[in-house]
Amino acid sequence: MQILVDANVPLAEQLCALACAEQPLHVEYFSQRQPSAEQLAKAQVLWVRSVTRVDAQLLAQAPNLQWVASATIGTEHVDEAALAAAGIAFSHTPGVNAQAVGDYVLSAVAALSLAHGHLPRGEVAIIGAGHTGRAAGERLAALGLTVHYYDPLLANQAVTAGALAHADWQRVLQSALISCHVPLTQTGAHATYHMFDQQQIAQLRPDCWFINASRGAVVSEAAVRQAIVNGQRIQWVFDVWEFEPQVAVDLLPHIALATAHIAGHSVAGKVGASLQLAQQLRQRCGSGPELPQLQQLLAAWQLPRSRLSKLSKDWQLLASAVLELYDIRVDDQQLRSHGLTAAGFDALRRNYHPRVELISAGLPLFADGKTHVSGL
């Protein structure tokens, strides 16, 4: 079996060998956004991440392809209709890096709060009550913030800690902090493409903190430019960019925290995705021993532990503990120093440093005595 794998999928060769122990296989890696035609011509299995566009053009170069899998939550980079038409199976790993994205949001809020000397002064709107939105919301609730979830597709359903998702857009616009956790969709009643355009951004509170760790085109960069011209002083946090891997360099002086689409790049998230795909491969092969548990695989990385043994009522202490474990400001400086070109942006993602997840590091993120963030 010929398996072609994005080089950012860790432990792929080792896990594939275990998953199909009784079958001959060959694992080859690709390091650019798109695999080469030569590699695709041989591939029977293709494992990608969100930067690889799987469409009819790619499939035309891959006559032997039987299965495509994405080691990511999102699927908008994959033309599922084209795969179905070609009789090629598809799967992905929903929820696998939700904890990492939640950590990213918490680190951003911790950094901004310490810089401004206060937490957001009002409600927190989480847009999208799926895995990542819930993970972010639980962490911010642990800081003592009032969190609500906007998700018209889940309106009136309980999402976390008894909270109900709602469809009140005006409540979102009046929130002190807005964090986006939606897929990119172009059509339908609740399409997310340019969900925040000039008209919507103009209605935001002047002291709004705005985080986008979903997909770049959820926010119109042209509208952000206009907001800056209009004198709006929103605290923007962008992990994703409308035209990535090209960053809107002219916006950077006005962005509080800017990173290279690495919100979900924790060690646990990436290794967890590899393990999920290997489990799927094992089912397809019908052979192989039981695969290791995630914690066994993570033991190879020497990751830090929190010095905070219980949840503190002092938000400054908790914010400082968060930044000791994962400091988003380091990633911000990396982007500003090395990620201003498409090649630099991709290099930052490809060579991203091992990052601990806050729960696995022992940080006690409890919204109350019963609800544990890692249980999402």
Please tell me if the domain spanning 2-92 has the same topology as the one spanning 98-264+311-375. Answer: yes
User: Is the pLDDT at 230 greater than 80, yes or no?
Assistant: yes
At 235, give phi and psi (nearest 5°).
-90, 95
d(CA 339, CA 329): 14
* Tens of pLDDT, residues 110-137: 999 999 999 999 999 999 999 999 999 9
Decide if 22 is catalytic: no
Decide if 194 is catalytic: no
Pick the catalytic residue: 221, 242, 244, 357? 244
Residue boundaries of the structural domains of the chain: 2-92, 98-264+311-375
Tell the CATH topology of 98-264+311-375.
Rossmann fold (3.40.50)
Q: Cite the beta strand spans of the chain per DSSP E.
A: 2-6, 26-30, 45-48, 67-70, 89-92, 124-127, 147-150, 158-160, 163-166, 177-180, 209-212, 235-238, 255-258
Pick the catalytic residue: 77, 92, 139, 215? 215
Pick the catalytic residue: 261, 282, 349, 355? 261
Q: Is the peptide bond before 354 cis (omega within 30 degrees of 0)?
A: no
User: Is the pLDDT at 366 greater than 60, yes or no?
Assistant: no
CA contacts within 13 A on the Cβ side of 329:
13
* Tens of pLDDT, residues 18-37: 998 888 899 999 999 999 99
* Level-2 CATH architecture, domain 2-92: 3-Layer(aba) Sandwich (3.40)
- The H or E element that residue 117 is part of is none
pTM exceeds cut of 0.85: yes
Q: Which residues contact 286 (CB under 8 A, 6 or more apart)?
A: none
Decide if 244 is catalytic: yes
| Contact by Cβ (8 Å): 281, 291 | no
